[in-house]
């Protein structure tokens, strides 16, 4: 019998396509459907164009825009690039300064860094401890040459909601264009650009149960003259984003937006209740920090940091859950979340955070099961840590066997690796061994394996091999070899304590 699939709690990374959306897309793929090129003037092209324009109205309706203010793109990343690079380059003669925040998505930060190489200057604001960028901080950063402010509506890691209304009003008062990355806000919070003073707004289909590969940039009619394209050829989308329009994806995007708009009030309340239930269960562990506490947060995202646990080991142990340690675009990196570091979390605490994001299919039973699994693994990993005390020394000493316990450790509580060995020795031989370790899964694996290798060895045969040998035997990546040196140092400390 196959194992049950993991509980999916990574909706902030991507959502499954809603079956109703998939059905709408299927009608634009085959010869019997509306598959034509919307640029063509024959019947197939006209049918595809009509489907696209209906979808454009559906997408616009989600955020209160006019259909003519929607520019289709490949996703929020492209939308962000078009807004930031397009505005900056088009208006360089009026100013070469931009304002953003250190906690923005890389799809905003990287275009800003590109502009710095082109001679622009960028002010990167630091949020307060809850993740909020205040209008006062934005006002202080503005100067005569500022032409664009780009601040996200909802942070993709911690779910904090920024006051883009107040910030937009400030920008409008100062004559500065305002862009907001709303990939995590659209379809999850009410957005009405008729009331919000936002000039450019980015969002994407795959965060709201639509297909990957399609998104939109809202361009306020009065701000269109501020924007120039960053790609060329074909003239589609008002000349701002050329290329043959992907009819099936756009139709799916439209259907997803229409569904999200209809279901938003009830779904928002349901997800808020589930998120709060999950936090109340995890909070019982103690030593757990809610990231974004004290700030308004989007219903479906809960980001928590756990004291005394290494993040990679925690995520690796949660086989029954599909969760993230941060933004999906950074999940392959071993570095601590730059968002949490910007909030003042130290590297260890930031490195041991989970982003638990809930969605349309999440139920209370799954929340309870997730909380139980996380509680189990946090408790287990904390018990393995040297910070848990000397319980293993007492365990060895109480076995009733003759011998002496010697201990040796390396690393420490403020470092990414901390290892402590306890050896039960008699004469010149190791009779038994225990280890306490804080570190990545490879650290824990090698340390546990060495406990087996140590038993029965003489003092002269320690350590059993070298870190490079252990790495080869246990398939440890070369970038983790430095952590095995800490294990070796702990064993050598045991030798120094040997009577």
272 falls within a domain? yes
Do 228 and 326 sit in the same domain of this protein? no
Is residue 333 domain-shared with residue 419, that is, in the same domain?
no
pLDDT digits (tens, 9 = 90+) for 430-488: 999 999 999 999 999 999 999 999 999 999 999 999 999 999 999 999 999 999 999 99
- Nearest 5°: CA angle at 44, between 40 and 46? 60
The per-residue pLDDT for 341 is: 87
Q: How much is the pLDDT for 171?
A: 98
Whether 381 shows a pLDDT value over 70: the answer reads yes
Count of domains for the chain: 3
pLDDT of amino acid 4: 85
Query: Are 316 and 251 in the same domain?
Result: no
Q: Which residues carry out catalysis?
A: 329
pLDDT of residue 331: 42
Question: Cα 320–321–325 angle (5° rounding)?
Answer: 140
Q: What is the pLDDT of residue 70?
A: 98
Of the chain, the percentage scoring pLDDT greater than 70 comes to 95
Q: Is the pLDDT of residue 330 over 60?
A: no
Token output for 307: 């004291």
459 & 365 share domain: no
Both 394 and 483 in one domain: the answer is yes
Answer whether residue 1 is part of any domain. Answer: no
Q: Is residue 221 part of a domain?
A: yes
Is residue 333 scored above 50 in pLDDT? no
Q: How does 197-228 read in b/e, with b if 16+ C-beta sit within 10 Å?
A: bbbbbbbbbbbbbbbbbbbbbbbbeebeebbe
Residue where a domain terminates, one of 241, 260, 279: 260
Tell me the CATH number at 361.
3.90.1150.10
Residue 427 sits in a domain whose CATH number is 3.90.1010.10
For residue 233, is it within any domain?
yes
Cα(127)–Cα(98) distance, rounded to whole angstroms?
17
- pLDDT exceeds 70 at position 400: no
What crossing angle do the helices spanning 106-117 and 76-90 adopt, rounded to 10°?
Answer: 30
Arithmetic mean of pLDDT, 161-174: 97
Considering the domain architecture, whether residues 155 and 216 belong to the same structural domain is answered as yes
Residue 21 CB neighbours (<10 A): 25
**Which residues span the domain enclosing 463?**
388-497
From 362, 384, 406, give the residue that closes a domain. 384
Would you say 487 and 447 are in contact if contact means Cβ atoms under 8 Å apart? yes
Q: Ramachandran region of residue 407, left (φ > 0), alpha (ψ -120 to 50) or beta?
A: beta
Whether residue 180 is found in the same domain as residue 41? yes
Given 204, 239, 260, which residue is the final one in a domain?
Answer: 260
- Tell me, what CATH number does 166's domain have? 3.40.640.10
**Mean pLDDT of the region 260-289:** 97
Average pLDDT over residues 351-364: 95
286 and 426 inside one domain: no
d(Cα 485, Cα 468) in Å, to the nearest integer? Answer: 9
Same-domain pairing of 141 and 193: yes
Residues 256 and 330 in one domain: no
Q: pLDDT band at residue 326, thresholds of 50, 70 and 90?
A: low
């Amino acid at each position: 019998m196959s194992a049950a699939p993991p509980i999916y709690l990574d909706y902030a990374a991507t959502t499954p396509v809603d079956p109703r959306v998939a059905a709408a897309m299927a009608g634009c793929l085959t010869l019997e459907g509306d598959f034509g090129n919307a640029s063509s003037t024959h019947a197939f092209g006209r049918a595809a164009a009509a489907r696209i324009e209906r979808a454009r109205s559906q997408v616009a309706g989600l955020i209160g825009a006019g259909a003519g203010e929607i520019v289709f793109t490949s996703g929020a990343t492209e939308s962000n690039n078009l807004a930031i690079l397009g505005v900056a380059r088009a208006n360089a003669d009026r100013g070469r300064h931009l304002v953003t925040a250190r906690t923005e998505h890389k799809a905003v930060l990287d275009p800003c860094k590109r502009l710095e190489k082109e001679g622009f200057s960028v002010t990167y604001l630091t949020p307060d401890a809850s993740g909020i960028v205040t209008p006062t901080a934005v006002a202080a950063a503005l100067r005569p040459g500022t032409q664009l402010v780009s601040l996200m509506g909802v942070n993709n890691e911690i779910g904090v909601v920024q006051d883009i209304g107040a910030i937009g009003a400030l920008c409008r008062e100062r004559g500065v264009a305002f862009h907001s990355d709303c990939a995590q806000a659209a379809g999850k919070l009410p957005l009405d650009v008729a009331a919000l003073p936002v000039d450019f707004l980015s969002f994407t289909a795959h965060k709201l149960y639509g297909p990957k590969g399609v998104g939109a940039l809202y361009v306020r009619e009065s701000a269109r003259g501020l924007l120039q394209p960053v790609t060329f050829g074909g003239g589609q989308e008002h000349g701002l984003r050329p290329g043959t329009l992907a009819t099936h994806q756009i139709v799916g995007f439209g259907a997803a937006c229409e569904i999200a708009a209809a279901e938003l009030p009830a779904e928002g309340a349901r997800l808020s209740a589930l998120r709060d239930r999950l936090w109340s269960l995890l909070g019982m562990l103690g030593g757990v920090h809610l990231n974004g506490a004290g700030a308004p947060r989007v219903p479906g995202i809960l980001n928590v940091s756990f004291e005394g646990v290494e993040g990679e080991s925690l995520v690796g142990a949660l086989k029954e859950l599909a969760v993230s340690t941060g933004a999906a675009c950074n999940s392959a990196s071993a570095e601590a979340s730059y968002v949490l570091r910007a909030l003042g979390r130290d590297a260890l605490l930031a490195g041991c955070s989970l982003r638990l994001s809930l969605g349309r299919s999440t139920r209370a039973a799954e929340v309870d099961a997730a909380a139980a699994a996380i509680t189990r693994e946090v408790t287990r990993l904390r018990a393995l840590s040297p910070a848990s005390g000397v319980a293993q020394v007492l365990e060895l000493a109480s076995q009733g066997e003759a011998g002496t316990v010697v201990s040796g450790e390396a690393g420490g509580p403020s470092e990414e690796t901390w290892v402590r060995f306890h050896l039960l020795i008699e004469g010149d031989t190791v009779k038994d061994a225990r280890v306490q370790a804080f570190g990545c899964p490879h650290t824990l694996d090698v340390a546990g394996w060495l406990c087996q290798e140590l038993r029965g060895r003489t003092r002269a045969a320690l350590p059993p091999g070298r870190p490079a040998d252990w790495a080869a035997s246990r398939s440890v990546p070369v970038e983790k070899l430095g952590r095995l040196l800490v294990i070796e140092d702990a064993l050598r400390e045991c030798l120094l304590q040997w009577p």
